[in-house]
Amino acid sequence: MTKFNELQNQTNIQEIIKTTFDVDFPLSGDWGYSQEKATIIEHTPKDMPLNQLEHTITSIRAHLEMNITQEKNNRYAGINANEKSRETLKVKGMRFDKIHYEVTGIKEELYHAFIKEYKEKYESEDFDLNEHFQKRKQATIVREVVHFFGIKSEE
């Protein structure tokens, strides 16, 4: 099984996200692996609720860990993060959201084969849709991760 390493905070994470994903979020700090390495949300954008921003940042982190930083034969696709639980902590006047996510993905090559099979055979009478999705489910890895966010302002 592929080992997913924590991302290193070599530079401004806001800049890495902007360069890699072409989105500009008001962030500082680190990748959120612990409270000390929290991803700091400077303020919540007007057009995005806080929990959506946190989910998006966690999804970005998962894509960096599971795809972009991996060798070609170790890359995953179909990556999804689903929130399982959260708690809010107050430390020295700062709010921290500690969120537990279930992150899933399928090896990239296999994922593309599933998509191709689905597109090519969906209309076919001999295509067993239940079997197709059962195979996809069996090929899916599940990771339990925690992401810490420091919230400076929700406005």
Task: Return the structure tokens found at 117.
Answer: 């099979």
| Radius of gyration for the chain, computed over Cα atoms and rounded to the nearest angstrom | 18
3-state SS, residue 16 = helix
Report the half-sphere exposure of 106 (CA within 13 A, side-chain side). 16
Segment 91-103 mean pLDDT: 95
Residue 155 reports pLDDT greater than 60: no
Over the stretch 7-41, which tens digit does the pLDDT of each residue have? Answer: 987 678 999 999 999 999 999 999 999 999 999 99
Over the stretch 51-71, which tens digit does the pLDDT of each residue have? Answer: 999 999 999 999 999 999 999
Name the pTM for this structure: 0.90
C-alpha–C-alpha distance, residues 146 and 128, integer Å:
37
